[in-house]
Chain A
Amino acid sequence: MIRLENLTKLYGSFVAVDDISLHVPRGVLYGCLGPNGAGKTTTLRMIAGILRPTQGRVLLGGDDVHANPLAAKMRLGFIPDRPFVYDKLTGAEFLRFVAGLYGQQGDVVGRRIAELLEVFELTSWKDELVEAYSHGMRQKLIISSALIHRPECIVVDEPMVGLDPKAARLLKDIFRQFVGRGGTVLMSTHTLEVAEAMCDQIAIIQHGKIVAAGTVSDVRRQHKAGDASLEELFLKLTGGAQVRDLIEVLGA
């Protein structure tokens, strides 16, 4: 469903994403893990068509995001990590606007908006301007907007940031059900427990490259990590020594 072919992104001479190739099949929840600045967000923004790759291409359901953007983007729901939305629209107006961007109109949109607001417990806020929403409520609104056109795949950057435990649980359930019905989710996260519990497959990215990929068991096997937890595996692959140094610094 999501295919990355030799994806590379340069900012001047800095290599943010370095020749990444990846295939996320239909019906899979795929997690991108990596330390800060590893290139996860850049990769996801290239998949969403917001950034243009320096080299390589992104295919969504066979359509190239940059060569055939409209067809590819119709399949996609994108949830960014920073919930910037129009402050002077109400929640319901924002969702109607997004539905319009995907060519949807009429009563069906009204029903879908009501349904999503209900699920995310925003119904009583639907006529409030977004400027009055908390960070978590904005995040819920953006998640609703990504689902409004019933996408085939969802690309989500740090989905749990700002969500209360109930909403976080709801989102996990939604993603699992979505994948269960044949949808595809590609998400980046720092929360290793979430990744371990939710993801069918993972990729660990560091310095713009994939350093490990597969199921958690595959990655353990590849790196001879025995029964190590995902956290230990992650630290081993991305520089656990630095964490020990940090503990010494804080201890001193």
Chain B
Amino acid sequence: MKQPSLAHVLQPKWRTALQRLREEREKGGSGKLVILIIVGGAFWAGVFGVLYLILRNLRKVEELGPLIPGKILGLILLSFISILVLSNVITALSSFFLAKDLDLLVSAPVDWLRLYLAKLGETLLHSSWMVALMVVPILAAYGVVYKGGVLFAVYAMLAIVPMLILPAVLGSAVTLVLVNIFPARRTRDLLSIIALGAAGGVILLFRMIRPEQLARPEGFRNLLDFLILLRGPTSPFLPSEWASQAVMGYLQHRIDLLPLMLLWTTAAAFVTLGAVLHRALYAQGFTKAQEGAERFIRGTLWRWTVGPLLGWLPVAKREFVLKDIKLFFRDTTQWSQLILLAVLVVVYLFNIQALPLHRGEPVGFFYVNLVSFLNLGLAGFVLASIAARFIFPAVSLEGRQMWLLRSSPLDLRALLWSKYWVGTVPLLALGVLLTGMTNALLEVSTFMMLMSLTTMAALTLAIAAMALAFGTLYPQFETENAAQIPTSFGGLVFMMATIALLAGVIVSLWQAVYAYVRAVYEGRPVVIDAWMFLWFGVAAALCTAATIVPLRLALKKMETFEF
């Protein structure tokens, strides 16, 4: 029997993707595309700009100049490969074992090799597109600083593509073995914890290296010591090292084809070995993957702990809040994100502590207050990112169960209320903690501490309301994975709206804070006058409006939902 082509096996996937694009275009018009291009372009420009400055500075340093860029590229590519292996392991679990099209493909007379290559391609694409996009501005910076020319783009692509294939094969193989040992759903839980733990570790490690020192030549001595201490990516067996050698060789005009050949032949060998392993283990693994992750749960823990605290609430709201808490902590893909959140907080506080402040008065006083003030914006942005991940998807996640909520006499206001407070209370605690601790580290005055804490509380209420509202205005009912929901267009609009709010509040408060700082700086008594009150009032009005208006709009939108 003639086998269907690989493109035919993948046809439903690319046709679905094209249809989605068409639908998106119809829904959002060209405005959506323009916003995406602007945001993506700004991000690329940022990465390019930072790396360009670092590389240009390094080129000026005589002894270390030629060595360190290669090391940096090797480090970047190594971290990308580590991320790719993890993300491929997780993606392979979905594409090879849990995808909805598998029943059809496995029961059809499609041979094992086509199935393997189709699913490997799918895994590769899903898990590598973000890294591939990240690599573009990085290599562009190298190309521009070293004047690589247009052909460099082609050469770089030849070096990077096999580097993406290798982790895809490796990740798929690891998954194949794991699924043969554990049930697929249990493996997914396990992997998401390991992946996030590892990602957290990489972020911490990267921060502890203090990469900002690269921009200051006087810091090179210590950094080099550190790199030597780490013994860096110097292993000749790492594909990231081959890719880095290939790229740097081309840029420094000593083209050596060996790294490229190593990359391509290893990729080909890996695909072959992966296919052999797939042939041997897939059928058994697929059968095991059909087993459910059955778990016996008494479910009384939350009822006895959180339940009494919610006793004052009407029964519908109480049950709704309890349900949301249980669902969050029973879904490994949800709660495991808290690991990253903890890392983020540690890195955040580390950054504040690493600032070279308190070197003397009165400049120290000015900068301390400036940093404390700007910290409000930064902490607000961090809270917005967290709200985007946890609060924004809240309504979308009810999609498949909306038949129950809409056919029951549950007041939609109660639903919105429960979602709002389940998200807001932890966010508020985090916001106040983050601001309080950074201000304590900065040793700010009582005025700044009180102003910061009050502002942060008001901002948190507004950010949570906006996250919930934008998530309702741009729902993603078809997406089952909560982590994917904030990456939608609505998530982007929410982040932009939040940045606008943060800018508005900070500009308003600056008028009041500047009056305070100037008074202290000039040794005058601090008077809270009408001017200060006016600007505090503007900030408060902004936060209040950003809390109430979005929630009202969300309620209206919710009333029009149809399923």
A residues sitting closer than 8 Å to B (CB atoms) are 45, 48-52, 69-71, 73-74, 76, 78, 80, 84-86, 88-90, 92-93, 96-105, 127-129, 131-132, 145
Contacts and interface: CB of A to CB of B under 8 A. Distances in A.
Given A86-B327, A88-B331, A103 B316 contact: yes
A73 B404 CA distance: 11
A145 B330 CA distance: 22
A17 to B, nearest CB: 13
29 contacts: A45-B563, A49-B406, A50-B406, A70-B411, A71-B409, A73-B409, A74-B409, A76-B407, A78-B403, A85-B404, A86-B401, A88-B326, A88-B327, A88-B331, A93-B323, A97-B320, A97-B322, A100-B315, A100-B319, A101-B316, A101-B405, A103-B315, A127-B297, A127-B299, A128-B297, A131-B293, A132-B293, A132-B295, A145-B404
A50 B407 CA distance: 6
Most buried by B among A69, A76, A92, A100: A100
Nearest to A85: B401
Interface residues of B, number: 36
Interface string B311-331: 000111011101100110011
Contacts, number: 101
Contacts of A74: 409
Contacts of A52: 560, 562
B299 A90 contact: yes
B347 interface: no
A104 B315 contact: yes
Interface in B281-333: 292-299, 314-316, 318-320, 322-323, 326-327, 330-331
A100 B318 contact: yes
A98 B323 contact: no
Contacts of A71: 409
A128 B562 contact: no
B203 interface: no
A106 to B, nearest CB: 9
Most buried by B among A49, A50, A131: A50
B294 A129 contact: yes
A92 B297 CA distance: 10
B16 interface: no
Given A89-B326, A100-B320, A127-B296, 10 more contacts: A50-B406, A74-B409, A84-B403, A88-B326, A93-B326, A97-B319, A97-B322, A128-B295, A132-B295, A145-B404
A89 B330 CA distance: 8
B289 to A, nearest CB: 14
Nearest to A48: B407
